[in-house]
Structure 1
Amino acid sequence: MNNLAKLFVGMTLGALSAIPASATPVLGSGLQNGLNGAAQDGTFSQDVNADQYNPDEIWTLDAVSSGNAVMMFEFAGFANANTMGIYQIGNTGVTLELFSGAASQGWHTTLSQTGNVFTATYFDSNDVYMGQASATLNSSNFGFYLTSAQNNTFYSQADLNSDAAADGTTDHLVTFQGDNTEMMDPDGDGFYGQFTDNNFILAWEDLALNNSDRDYSDMVVMVESFIPVPEPGTLGVLGLGLIGFGLARRKRA
């Protein structure tokens, strides 16, 4: 690699490291304790403040166009009313519910995709079929939403949330990715499975941040085969680096 190529690679890596992967402050011990309780050894290996996964704003399904979501726990006064689902990027009026207010630990939803039609199939904690619903989105990408009993809807795209805590935080969702080593029981049935890198835990705060405890344990869901989409800024930096590397190679030739 010549000096020009090294320069471009260095600039790319430097720019990537400058992209903030800021953590959303999680207060209290509720979320950590809840995740500890789902871990086989009683201790969740990730710290809910230090080990958050980013980006977590825009998602898609993996190559088989099917994913699963299971309710882990809800430590919330509005647990019986909170709902969660997906929405169309660019139009939050197009939604598909994944969990109703009646859903509790162990309820699970299969989300499948045919073209741009998404279908949610619902099951309770005993694997009893609870129905289906569908929605047509304008692409394979989507965001997650949470609607609370106070008629507030919060989005995985934090900029869409109009409330803000005193520190400027607008993020209602924190996310954790599996590391292929932990054994967890997400649905509370006593059976433990590997928390793989194809699994993510989504943890929500259901109250406006300027008047909440910010514990992010109000609805906690594990998803499988839901894939986070890299932020456009990250892709742009990578693209610039690759272009520069290509120019350097041509110059050398």
Structure 2
Amino acid sequence: MLVKKLIAGSVFAIAAGNVAAVPSDLADLNNDAGTTLFPDVPEDTYFDTRAGYVSLTDTSGVEDDTNATLLAESAALESGNSFGIFNPTSGEKLEVFSGSDSAIAGETVSFNTTTGIATHDGTGASADIGVTFGFFIDNGLGNVWYSDPAMNGGDDFAGLYDTTGTSGEGLFGSDILVAFEDTETGDRDYNDVVVGLTDVAAVPEPGTLALMGMGILGLGVSRLRKS
């Protein structure tokens, strides 16, 4: 059986008292035999955005969609893992890939940008996701990990890579590549579930946005005082 692997450099970060390995750059997608699955993807080109969420980028009309491709899996829990998206406000989830799916599988999720309802075109399942959303992995053992480290007690289980413009590099036109680790005590190679998505862009976690807002407000108050 051909096992797909994501070979990613790692750095170490301390979050909420835990030492967590987080990916720093996207190298190659290879299998165990050393054969490059995506030979046109150069090393040290794509870097972890350190974001936990994405927003739809083509929202000029009421309808929008994102094409999701399960690019690679390399996990003992592969048959039990499921991948999906979630609403950062309500926590409502929509499964995109189940454990029975295998690379290279593709699905489309359609969005109503007015109501925020997202619908899986293949299964017909829908959920109130909104136009800004995060990602989750359920490893089938009662553990659900999120792309926002704050929802994992500060531990980072996912890297979000900006791969815009990769239509000719084997990533199926992905704008964001999400690479997950599926266990708390895993090897942190971030290749257990690797999914590429189109028509999305990375955005900061809500907490970061709030801090940015406070900073801007502080600058405004400071200027008022000086004037």
TM-score by length of 2: 0.71
Deviation at 1:242, TM superposition (A): 6.7
Residue 213 of structure 2: aligned partner: 236
Gaps of 5+ in 2: 1-12
Runs of 4+ residues deviating >6 angstroms: none
1:71 aligns to 2:67 (yes or no): no
- List per-residue Cα deviations over 1:151-191 (Å, max 9, x = no partner): 210011211114xxxxxx6010011112647841136xxxx
Report if the CA contact (8 A) 1:38-1:186 is conserved: no
- Kindly report which structure 2 residues correspond to 1:1-253, keeping only aligned pairs within 5 A, or say none: 25-26=21-22, 32-34=27-29, 37-41=36-40, 43-46=42-45, 51-55=47-51, 57-64=52-59, 65-92=64-91, 94-114=92-112, 115-122=115-122, 131-137=123-129, 139-162=130-153, 170-178=155-163, 180=165, 183-186=168-171, 199-208=175-184, 211-230=185-204, 231-233=208-210, 235-236=212-213, 239-240=216-217, 243=220, 251=227
Is the strand fraction higher in 1 or 2?
2
Report if the CA contact (8 A) 2:136-2:144 is conserved: yes
**Letter matched to residue 63 of structure 1:** D
Q: Distance in 1 between matches of 2:160 and 2:53?
A: 12
DSSP 3-state at the match of 1:98: strand
Report if the CA contact (8 A) 2:176-2:202 is conserved: no
Gaps of 5+ in 1: 1-19, 123-130, 163-168, 188-192
Deviation at 1:142, TM superposition (A): 2.1
Q: Distance in 2 between matches of 1:41 and 1:61?
A: 26
Residue 4 of structure 2: aligned partner: none
Is the helix fraction higher in 1 or 2?
1
Report if the CA contact (8 A) 2:68-2:107 is conserved: yes
Q: Distance in 1 between matches of 2:162 and 2:219?
A: 27
Report if the CA contact (8 A) 1:69-1:224 is conserved: yes
Calculate the aligned-residue CA RMSD, in Å.
3.3
**Letter matched to residue 117 of structure 1:** I
The structure whose Rg is larger is 1
Q: Percent identity?
A: 26
- List per-residue Cα deviations over 1:196-229 (Å, max 9, x = no partner): xxx1111000001xx2111110000111112223
Report if the CA contact (8 A) 2:69-2:104 is conserved: yes
